[in-house]
Structure 1
């Protein structure tokens, strides 16, 4: 039986619950990526909490926020960066009203990742109030444009503010408190353009319409991915305790998935009417690529399949697989903080999806992810548990103290 929370614990949980609800009440789906309202919620909290912050406006509806939790001037030592994002997946239907039910807060973005943003903000307040003579600098970077890997968020901000790379990074993207994500697969985001001949559908004509051609291309890409994964399976090691932990916490097959290429056809656009052959079709393709597969080789094979269908490939985005050593000081600090708070040592793992942490790793900065359970992320009943966020606040504060004091 779980012990009732103390008065301080109940106050913390209520603060988190209210803040998550406020963040969810300011929708920020991407697309279109307008984060002005949710950025206003963040800056209002910072004003109340006495957290110095600066607003970055890369475009009319985009905002990034840099919170100077500790520093930036007059402090010697390491620079730790916390990173989260303000945009969310779009809702699949009319957005439901955010609500709190006992220990859970429901709403689009509760898991990915307004719950994690709330944990960062509350942890920032607590650390600033209690830091004392803790050395070093701590920056909280909350960005737009993460869901689409766009140029206005962390990518653009780091170009303008390279000092925000710091010496180490922690993200609260969803991961589960039983896993510390230290690696991610790479990705290829493609738009495949397939042409056809527009004409009346009932009359005979040469060749297939664009959508049928695109469907054939899609089948061949799926076959290609299956062949690549079949070859990879031969080199998979026997299951380990780490694999078993990933499957238990993220769902059966998670440990296998991070070693494979994943394929998703996200959108299909083409045609004008049911009784017309379409003149063109566009398919968006999402490929996630493990470190054992050459992404350039895979791209070349997809381009060849597109040419065979009479089409062409436009690269929307790409990024290589990336990782941080499991013995990095920040990984040690987070791992030990989780162990102290939960009584269970978390397992280092590879993330199934991609996060902005990759940008820090690409720059040679150690980065890890520790966040809430991802089980309901992006679903119609997305929700986050406040007990998990309460633990996350403690973990963030504890690991920051350990890392900045140089005890890792």
Structure 2
């Protein structure tokens, strides 16, 4: 396909290394791009001291139209996961092969960020009279443990009173349906830790101790037997062991072990039900040592977990987005929810609109594959189409 502005911008973004906690270079590039296009970007600096001790930054652009319209937040994250093993290509050299563009972050989610940036530029340069306010937030550390960038925007009140948020995550890549896909909800997530307290002994006489690593392993094996029920809307959750830590030194039975659990949840599950489930697994596994279940250290009480959410199909913003998708694509969008977590969870559950309700968070992004895996790619045409959809939605919503 023709190398359009949004594809050329995407290629530039892919070429800039930006794993989470290392976003300064890409923030600087996007600031210059937005500034050159007359979009008046501002840096937002934040400092997280309680959990990971990270000083980060976001980009914010605010466009004001005529009075009387909605306030819409456009959200995307500029960070990526670190490069994993197994790439057959240079992850930082954008490579086009047929209808695919390969590169780390190509789908997740530099394509979505490029689409938002170009759509906002088109609106700025148009002669259309539109109403309301637009807030573009290009954030850091979404791929890290707490979505620190969006968390800071919310906790500092910088996106209060929005009426709707649009997030261009590559939801089509996570869907069973073909692009275009409009996701009207998402699963939530807890991350918790279990500390196991054993008894040290010499490794030549392990029977004299209590091996905390073995007790932790009992829990891990039992967790594989867990049967999770669907809530009938978002489906069923998921349990993934992220990490197991134990160390007996040179020649000792380890007296301490820690297991970190990543637990996706749905609307029928809560913090309390997840902890009851963990207790059940520990009991069924026959864990014989003392243990303690904890949430990991968190930036704040509100960011301790990602809440699941749903948006009604009858919501006015969802309705206009669906109409915009059909206008651009010539066919209706597939409507579903997304099975992973992201900034959209915070945007949907931690902000109030001007009337006190929670604003809908709509996810519409390009298609691709191999996300968080070697040879990540995005489908080129879907990047351009996502940009067109966002622009169409804005002019329909704000005219």
Moved more, 149-158 or 356-365: 149-158
Given that 2:7 and 2:384 are in contact with CA atoms closer than 8 Å, whether structure 1 keeps it comes out as no
On the 8 A contact 1:79/1:404 being kept in 2, the answer is no
Unaligned runs of 5+ in 2: 48-53, 173-178, 297-303, 352-357
How has the CA–CA distance of structure 1 residues 336 and 44 changed in structure 2, closer, same or farther, with 3 Å as cutoff? same
Equivalent-residue separation in structure 2 for 1:208 and 1:92 (angstroms): 36
Structure 1: unaligned runs, 5 residues or longer: 237-254
Partner of 2:388: 394
Deviations 1:223-278 (A, max 9, x none): 3x32xx2xx36x86xxxxxxxxxxxxxxxxxx9xx411201111222215575422
Note if contact 2:14-2:94 (Cα within 8 Å) is conserved in structure 1.
no
Q: Could you say if the C-alpha distance between residues 273 and 171 of structure 1 is closer, same or farther in structure 2, counting changes exceeding 3 Å?
A: same
Partner of 1:325, secondary structure, is coil
User: Which residue of 342, 346, 351 maps to 1:359?
Assistant: 346
* C-alpha separation in 1, matches of 2:145 and 2:335: 24
Are residue 348 (structure 1) and residue 348 (structure 2) matched?
no
Structure 1's 161 and 113: CA in aligned 2 closer, same or farther, altered over 3 A?
same
Deviation at 1:149, TM superposition (A): 4.7
Contact 2:184 2:312 in 1 (8 A): yes
Q: CA RMSD in A?
A: 2.4
After TM superposition, the structure 1 stretch with the greater mean CA deviation from structure 2, 36-45 or 146-155, is 146-155
Q: Answer whether contact 2:45 2:57 (CA < 8 A) is retained.
A: yes
CA separation of 1:14 and 1:263: change in aligned 2, threshold 3 A:
same
DSSP 3-state at the match of 2:130: coil
- Which aligned pairs between 1:1-400 and structure 2 lie closer than 5 A? 10=2, 13-30=3-20, 33-59=21-47, 61-68=55-62, 70-71=63-64, 75-93=67-85, 96-102=91-97, 103-150=99-146, 152-176=148-172, 177-223=179-225, 225-226=226-227, 229=228, 232=229, 258-273=234-249, 275-303=251-279, 305-306=281-282, 308=287, 309-316=289-296, 317-362=304-349, 363=351, 364-400=358-394
Spell out, residue by residue over 1:351-378, the C-alpha distance to the aligned partner (whole angstroms, 9 max, x if none): 1101212222213011110011253211
* Shift in CA distance, 106/87, structure 1 to aligned 2, threshold 3 Å: same
User: Counterparts of 2:127 and 2:196 in 1: how far apart (Å)?
Assistant: 58
Alpha-carbon offset, residue 206 of structure 1: 3.1
TM-score (norm 1): 0.82
Decide which structure has greater helix share: 1
8 A contact 1:17–1:105 mirrored in 2:
no
**Structure-2 separation of matches of 1:381 and 1:161:** 38
SS at match of 2:154: helix
1:61 and 1:28 mapped to 2: Cα distance? 15
Contact 2:189 2:308 in 1 (8 A): yes
Tell me the matched-pair count: 365
Deviations 1:20-64 (A, max 9, x none): 22222222223xx22111111211211221211110111375111
Q: Residues 293-330 of structure 1, C-alpha deviation per residue, up to 9 Å, x if partnerless? A: 34422222314645855221221332332111111122
Check the 8 A contact 1:134/1:404 in 2, yes or no.
Answer: yes
Residue 99 to residue 375, structure 1, CA distance change in 2 (3 Å)? closer
